[in-house]
């Protein structure tokens, strides 16, 4: 294998605190170049005019996503590196090849192009690499890889900030490179992959085919578990974002790990939104998580792998079972208000998914009726054309007969004239 540049990868699922980490590195490690989400499909859209990458993203986007205030545009480094990466990113690299193992192509031509676009050390922050951490580590053996872990409950709820995130989960579950567990989930939930090779059409299809809350969480939690095992086996460090929020000692340890890798980063202002959960919330999450663990076991995961992920899952969740476990009345009131809002979300999202299904079924029936009417019109037009042809033939026959009659009549008159 040829020598590869020494790079750093910050792996994460969406809504895991990666944008905060990216901006913290940006402002602290001046000697590095940090690329944010270079595997975003929007890069393909604006490959010929990269300045659109900056214009496409607005302050309202960052507000909706609850991103920290950025010192520079989100894709500024990527725009600056243009055109070194033009033609290097394939659409299949983004979701279809989401799951890769050592030795398989994971889009390394694109990564190399970016790494070689600057003489400075490069850091990649990406939310679409959690299924190929091992493949990346194999190709970049000198790289430093960190995985940002957030508790699945907060992370899943954060996915609801826009339909796009749920759509990407469906794209990953239906990807060509998916493991057996994803195939089982797709079959269990009845997920259908649209018949298109256009990545934007595929995401649009999933956005118009929203999942009910239970199905949405099952699909998400499957990706969450797969990513966590991949990170546990191949990352140099797993950063527990929930703990980073409040544990100063832990924060210092993480900063030290990055310093050892040559990256100075100040994480003192880390503050990810965190909900307060009740026993009723656990009643929703628990059975779906157990279903996913059962699917993973059935698809070949060892008991050790399942136990590892369960343990990390449990450690990532700070659970408030009910009001008896809350010390402060005000905190209890907040927890109940949050629980009420979540219940409202479940009800609204379920109805929205049902409405989507009804509208799509109605559209399907409408399309079928339009097709039937089009067939009927085509049949009538065909019959009309035949009728016109027959009428034309009959008209010609009649015309010929009239001509013959005129001719005969004319001869008779001419023969009669001498006798007058």
- What pTM was estimated for this model as a whole? 0.79
Could you read off the pLDDT of 121-167 as tens digits, one per residue? Answer: 999 999 999 999 999 999 999 999 999 999 999 999 999 989 999 99
Instruction: Find all residues with CB under 8 Å of 200, minimum gap 6, and list them.
Output: 41, 45
Cis peptide before 83 (omega within 30 of 0): yes
Mean pLDDT score, 83-105: 95
Q: CA 60, CA 339: separation in Å to the nearest integer?
A: 27
Residue 205, pLDDT score: 96
Residue 93, pLDDT score: 95
Among 29-43, 92-106, 329-343, 404-418, the range scoring the smallest mean pLDDT is 329-343
Which letter does DSSP use for residue 119 in this model? S
Q: CATH: 3.40.50, 1.10.155, 3.90.1640, 3.20.20. Which one for 7-321?
A: 3.40.50
Could you read off the pLDDT of 234-250 as tens digits, one per residue? Answer: 999 999 999 998 899 99
Q: Which two tokens stand for residue 237?
A: 């460090």
Confidence of residue 55 (pLDDT cuts 50, 70, 90): confident
DSSP string, 239-260: EEHHHHTT-HHHHHHHHHHHHH
Which letter does DSSP use for residue 132 in this model? -
Q: Which two tokens stand for residue 402?
A: 């009239």
Q: CA 321, CA 68: separation in Å to the nearest integer?
A: 31
Could you read off the pLDDT of 281-318 as tens digits, one per residue? Answer: 889 999 999 999 999 999 999 999 999 999 999 999 86
**If you average pLDDT over every residue of the chain, what do you get?**
85
């Amino acid at each position: 294998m040829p020598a590869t540049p020494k790079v750093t990868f910050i792996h994460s699922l969406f809504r895991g605190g990666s944008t905060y980490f990216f901006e913290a590195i940006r402002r602290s490690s001046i000697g590095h170049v940090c690329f944010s989400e270079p595997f975003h499909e929007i890069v393909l859209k604006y490959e010929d005019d990269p300045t659109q990458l900056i214009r496409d993203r607005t302050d309202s986007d960052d507000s909706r996503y609850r991103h920290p205030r950025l010192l520079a545009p989100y894709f500024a480094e990527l725009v600056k590196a243009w055109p070194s990466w033009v033609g290097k990113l394939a659409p299949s690299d983004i979701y279809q090849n989401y799951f890769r193992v050592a030795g398989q192509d994971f889009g390394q031509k694109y990564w190399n192009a970016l790494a070689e676009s600057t003489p400075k050390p490069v850091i990649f922050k990406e939310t679409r690499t959690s299924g190929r951490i091992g493949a990346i580590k194999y190709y970049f053996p000198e790289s430093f890889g960190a995985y940002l872990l957030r508790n699945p409950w907060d992370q899943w709820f954060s996915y609801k900030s826009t339909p796009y995130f749920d759509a990407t989960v469906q794209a990953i579950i239906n990807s060509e490179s998916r493991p057996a567990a994803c195939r089982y989930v797709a079959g269990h939930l009845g997920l259908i992959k649209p018949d298109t090779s256009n990545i934007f059409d595929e995401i649009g299809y999933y956005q118009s085919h929203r999942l009910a809350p239970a199905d949405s969480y099952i699909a998400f939690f499957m990706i969450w578990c797969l990513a966590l095992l991949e990170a546990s086996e191949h990352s140099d460090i797993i950063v527990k974002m929930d703990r980073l929020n409040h544990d100063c000692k832990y924060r210092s340890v993480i900063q030290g790990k990055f310093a050892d890798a040559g990256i100075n980063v100040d994480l003192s202002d880390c503050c990810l939104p965190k909900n307060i959960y009740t026993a009723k919330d656990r009643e929703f999450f628990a059975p779906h998580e157990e279903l996913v663990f059962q699917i993973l076991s059935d698809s070949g995961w060892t008991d050790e792998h399942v136990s590892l992920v369960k343990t990390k899952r449990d450690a990532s969740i700070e659970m408030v079972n009910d009001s008896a476990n809350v010390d402060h009345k005000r905190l209890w009131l907040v927890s109940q208000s949050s629980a009420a809002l979540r219940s409202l979300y479940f009800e609204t999202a379920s109805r929205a998914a049902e409405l989507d299904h009804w509208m799509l079924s109605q559209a399907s029936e409408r399309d079928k009726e339009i097709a039937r009417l089009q067939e009927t019109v085509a049949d009538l037009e065909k019959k009309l054309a035949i009728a016109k042809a027959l009428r034309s033939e009959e008209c010609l026959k009649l015309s010929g007969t009239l001509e013959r009659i005129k001719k005969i009549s004319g001869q008779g008159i001419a023969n009669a004239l001498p006798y007058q």
